[in-house]
Structure 1
Amino acid sequence: MRTLSQVLDETAHRFPARPALFYEGRTISYRDLAREVDRLAAGLVALGIEPGDKVGIWMSNIPEWIAAYFAIAKAGAVVVPMNTRYKTHEVAYILGNAEAKAVFMSQGFLGIDYAAMLAEVRPNLPLLREAITVGGEAPGLRPYADVLARGGDRAAQAEVARRGDAIDPNDCVFILYTSGTTGHPKGAMLSHVNMAENARQITEVLHATEEDIFLLPVPFFHCFGCVMGILGAVTWGAGIVPVPVFKADVALDLVQKHRVSVLYGVPTMFVLELEEQRKAAAAGRPYDVASLRTGIMAGAPCPAEVMRGTMDDLGCNVCICYGLTEASPVITMTRFDDPLDKRVETVGKPLPGIEVKVVDDARQEVPVGETGELACRGYNVMLGYWKDPAATRQVIDDEGWLYSGDLATLDEEGYVRIVGRKKDMYIVGGFNVYPAEVEEVLFTHPDVQNVSVVGVPDPVMGEVGMAFLIPREGHTPDPQEVVDFCARRIAAFKVPRYVVVGHEFPMTSSGKVQKYKLAERGKELVASGAARRLEPRKPGR
């Protein structure tokens, strides 16, 4: 069992000269990254950060995020990653609820003025002593360089070493706030073991080595970025290419420039990269992606068509991961030697040391093949929700099982299929419909680039499906034809009765479609009569 700082130190000792980071023309070696982390950790100690203190990181995917990540852990403190798109009230809530003593922050991002936001809420945050800024200066903010300079203090360096010996790998090192759709987000407390072991196992499945280069366009403030990405790459001494803002053409250009071998992303990112590569190929100038070896598609349901396209058009032998923040995050994963149908139609099997089961509403196991809620138990289960034991008891039972809120099936061979979120399921005339199943069908439609299906009210059936579509460039899906397309492939009660064609979905900053917003929009369209209800036409019409 290792702490986060031990993971970095061991890699820097083994591969001091290997590149750890490639960013905006700079290459940072593992030796230099470890030295900066040591200096930063000592600087935090010199500023009075004590073991167990909470320290926020409110920055985009930049090298300083990674240095702060390991330095906070090395100082014995607890990292509180913060969403780059938080609004002012969210910043106040997270820093206040976490009882943060310090925060690393950018001046701003994508036109959002972080410095002004913090100045507005800081009077209500009496525990927040230090705000450390990267990339500029502002009143009340301490420059990052000043913290590094303070790290030269011998006494602070000795204290960092002493704390390193005292840290228990089972201690909480991270509080990641869930992006819940209702109420305040909850802080999932993760330990060094939760994260380090999960990261190691995930990247071991990828056969990662020090020769790999990881492209990380997924946010560092999310488990996908900070555990599966940063910590996974550092475990083996691989290089990291951070991407602050995802754009498909930029991502593929970076793959080409840095000879990236491991590509991470949510399905939406892969959809856009596939579209970009196909456009470039049609124009006779495809991106050189021959270096791509593997990667991870996760963070949302992964359509089989997108998986196949990634393997065929990008040559990327991608793995599917399934998990949640509370599970540190990965529970199941496909493997390279899985049969192709299992790799594109399931989320694989559990990682070593993790048990899974599928249960009914009474939390009793259901027979193989039946749908129920997926639960897991193992080293990866979070310590609990910060300052919320009641919420912890709702999701972790007395035997250590964590209940995911996701609907799944488990086959005889142990492969898991995710059907959807319990709360996303809708009921058509007494029959359960899982949006993921309908979306899989619509992803095979030649005019469709992306799709999200929700349930909307219906006076006869109770609810029916509404499909929100993003068309492929140059294509205009006909709603009636889309309904007929579905009717030829799935049971009648599963066929959407409304089709809405648009150009974007409401998304979280970690790349997930905000279905609750689409559902609200769907209800409005139905209530106002703006959406036309369609019935499948009989064959031949």
Structure 2
Amino acid sequence: LSHHNIINNACFVGRRMGYDWRLNTRICLPVPLYHCFGSVGGGIIMAVYGCSLVFPSSGYSGKSNLAAVESERCTFIYGTPTMYVDMLAQPDLAKYDLSSLEGGIMAGSPCPAELVNKVVSNMGIKGLTIGYGTTENSPVTFLASPMDNMERKCETVGYIMEHLEAKIVDPTTGEVLPLGMKGEIMVRGYCVMLEYWGDPSKTSECITKDGWYKTGDIGSMDAYSYLKIDGRSKDMIIRGGENVYPAEIEQFLHTHPKVKEAQVVGVEDVRMGEEVCACIKLVDGQESSPEEIKAFCKGQISHFKIPRYVLFVTDYPLTITGKIQKHKLREEVEKQLGLKRK
């Protein structure tokens, strides 16, 4: 990434968030500074707009985030979906005074609509925005406005950032698809990285000769450039020839009142090639069964998307930045179910 990449990205993210006109912006920043979310969205924005940054704890703690917002009167908070789940799960959430919060950013992995609704209603963050991007793109390419309506915030990751281009293409042919159709998301503009350090072959795989970056993510855009993410192409499950995007099932499972968090992976299956497996964290104190979850899905989502396997878990394998490691989760699940081929 170049100086040009990250300074401009911080500038336009800050402008989208309103940091150029808001007074005394104080950002609670639990995301690490060695990740683009923290370094560009926090550190560089601090330099460009003169915002204050509040680091809630030396190691991640949902409780410390809430305490920092209250004691430091933070006006914005950043986090991955998992971080917001942790904050909402604090048993004494209601005792914290979060009234200073005007907005926040949720990004880093798919943001379920039900989670967005809970953050707005339970934490009172009416100006919450959803962002999308990749480290290779400095990182933000789409971002909602704090003033967007709830439908936009829940169903999309916002609209294209200023001075960038985006298109949705057929992953096989590269042909540009009509509005509303699912395909691979590609981005071009000032934000695209220079290269993968010392790896020209990988760089040429991801960046076309005319400067388009291939995200590897599947989504669709509307006429106003609002983007809906359906999942990563590498996470896609191919079940008996049907393409299944885990994010769609995860979003639906989050609407179950007993579900705190849901992750869906594909596991090996001799007959179908892959089967759908849901790994669910339940709300504290709740009990459920695979049959209950499957019955909840029946008639609500396509039959081939209903999880064949439902496992209840207490945690997920995470990266240091709080993202779910789906490849590790799949390995753990296949081992637990005894599905791994020798």
For Structure 1 versus Structure 2, the TM-score category normalised by the shorter chain is over 0.9
Question: What one-letter code is carried by the residue in structure 2 that aligns with 1:299?
Answer: G
User: Aligned with 2:330: secondary structure?
Assistant: helix
| Root mean square deviation of aligned Cα | 1.4
Equivalent residue, structure 2, for 1:200: 11
Equivalent residue, structure 2, for 1:249: 63
Matches within 5 A, 1:176-325: 190-208=1-19, 209-242=22-55, 243-276=57-90, 279-280=91-92, 286-316=95-125, 317-325=127-135
Instruction: Supply the distance in 2 between the matched residues of 1:339 and 1:312 (Cα, whole angstroms).
Output: 14
Deviations 1:441-482 (A, max 9, x none): 111111111111001122332222100111111112211101
Return the offset for 1:340.
Answer: 2.1
Instruction: Supply the distance in 2 between the matched residues of 1:280 and 1:525 (Cα, whole angstroms).
Output: 34
Equivalent residue, structure 2, for 1:412: 223
Deviations 1:257-294 (A, max 9, x none): 00011100000000111121xx225xxx5210000011
Return the offset for 1:205.
Answer: 1.3
Question: What one-letter code is carried by the residue in structure 1 that aligns with 2:164?
Answer: I
Q: Contact 1:438–1:494 at 8 Å: present in 2 too?
A: yes
Return the offset for 1:210.
Answer: 4.7
User: Aligned with 1:331: secondary structure?
Assistant: strand
Q: Contact 1:214–1:233 at 8 Å: present in 2 too?
A: no
Instruction: Supply the distance in 2 between the matched residues of 1:447 and 1:195 (Cα, whole angstroms).
Output: 41
Which of these residues, 285, 288, 294, is aligned with residue 483 of structure 1? 294
Q: Contact 2:103–2:146 at 8 Å: present in 1 too?
A: no
Q: Contact 2:269–2:339 at 8 Å: present in 1 too?
A: no
User: Aligned with 1:400: secondary structure?
Assistant: coil
Matches within 5 A, 1:330-345: 330-345=140-155
- Identify which of structures 1 and 2 has the higher relative contact order when contacts are C-alpha pairs closer than 8 Å and 6+ apart: 2
Matches within 5 A, 1:42-441: 190-208=1-19, 209-242=22-55, 243-276=57-90, 279-280=91-92, 286-316=95-125, 317-360=127-170, 361-441=172-252
User: Aligned with 2:65: secondary structure?
Assistant: helix
Q: Which consecutive aligned stretches of 4+ in structure 1 deviate over 6 angstroms post-superposition?
A: none
Instruction: Supply the distance in 1 between the matched residues of 2:333 and 2:173 (Cα, whole angstroms).
Output: 31
Deviations 1:104-155 (A, max 9, x none): xxxxxxxxxxxxxxxxxxxxxxxxxxxxxxxxxxxxxxxxxxxxxxxxxxxx
Which of these residues, 493, 496, 501, is aligned with residue 304 of structure 2? 493
Alignment of 1:460 onto 2:274: no
Q: Contact 1:454–1:467 at 8 Å: present in 2 too?
A: yes
Instruction: Supply the distance in 2 between the matched residues of 1:224 and 1:327 (Cα, whole angstroms).
Output: 11
Question: What one-letter code is carried by the residue in structure 2 that aligns with 1:294?
Answer: G
Instruction: Supply the distance in 2 between the matched residues of 1:327 and 1:528 (Cα, whole angstroms).
Output: 37
Instruction: Supply the distance in 1 between the matched residues of 2:23 and 2:111 (Cα, whole angstroms).
Output: 28
Question: What one-letter code is carried by the residue in structure 2 that aligns with 1:212?
Answer: T
User: Aligned with 2:304: secondary structure?
Assistant: helix
Deviations 1:212-262 (A, max 9, x none): 111111010000000011111332111111243121111100100000111
User: Aligned with 1:525: secondary structure?
Assistant: helix
Question: What one-letter code is carried by the residue in structure 1 that aligns with 2:246?
Answer: P
Instruction: Supply the distance in 2 between the matched residues of 1:238 and 1:268 (Cα, whole angstroms).
Output: 25
Deviations 1:182-228 (A, max 9, x none): xxxxxxxx111110111111121111245011111101000000001
Instruction: Supply the distance in 1 between the matched residues of 2:76 and 2:46 (Cα, whole angstroms).
Output: 10
Equivalent residue, structure 2, for 1:82: none
Instruction: Supply the distance in 1 between the matched residues of 2:141 and 2:301 (Cα, whole angstroms).
Output: 30
Instruction: Supply the distance in 2 between the matched residues of 1:197 and 1:350 (Cα, whole angstroms).
Output: 14
Question: What one-letter code is carried by the residue in structure 2 that aligns with 1:380?
Answer: C
Q: Contact 2:276–2:306 at 8 Å: present in 1 too?
A: yes
Instruction: Supply the distance in 1 between the matched residues of 2:43 and 2:115 (Cα, whole angstroms).
Output: 25
Q: Which structure has the greater CA radius of gyration? A: 1
Question: What one-letter code is carried by the residue in structure 2 that aligns with 1:498?
Answer: Y
Q: How many residues align?
A: 335
Question: What one-letter code is carried by the residue in structure 2 that aligns with 1:280?
Answer: D
Q: Contact 2:261–2:282 at 8 Å: present in 1 too?
A: yes
With structure 1 as the length reference, what TM-score do the two structures score?
A: 0.60
Deviations 1:469-510 (A, max 9, x none): 111111122111011111232010001010111100000011
Instruction: Supply the distance in 2 between the matched residues of 1:339 and 1:307 (Cα, whole angstroms).
Output: 12
Matches within 5 A, 1:11-50: none
Question: What one-letter code is carried by the residue in structure 2 that aligns with 1:237?
Answer: G
Q: Contact 2:26–2:74 at 8 Å: present in 1 too?
A: yes
Question: What one-letter code is carried by the residue in structure 2 that aligns with 1:214?
Answer: I
Q: Contact 2:268–2:339 at 8 Å: present in 1 too?
A: no
User: Aligned with 2:89: secondary structure?
Assistant: helix
Deviations 1:165-194 (A, max 9, x none): xxxxxxxxxxxxxxxxxxxxxxxxx11111
Instruction: Supply the distance in 2 between the matched residues of 1:413 and 1:204 (Cα, whole angstroms).
Output: 19
Instruction: Supply the distance in 2 between the matched residues of 1:339 and 1:214 (Cα, whole angstroms).
Output: 22
Alignment of 1:505 onto 2:319: no
Deviations 1:278-328 (A, max 9, x none): x225xxx52100000111100000111111111111111211110000000
Q: Contact 2:267–2:339 at 8 Å: present in 1 too?
A: no
Equivalent residue, structure 2, for 1:15: none
Question: What one-letter code is carried by the residue in structure 1 that aligns with 2:77?
Answer: L
Instruction: Supply the distance in 2 between the matched residues of 1:394 and 1:519 (Cα, whole angstroms).
Output: 26
Return the offset for 1:367.
Answer: 2.1
Instruction: Supply the distance in 1 between the matched residues of 2:49 and 2:18 (Cα, whole angstroms).
Output: 10
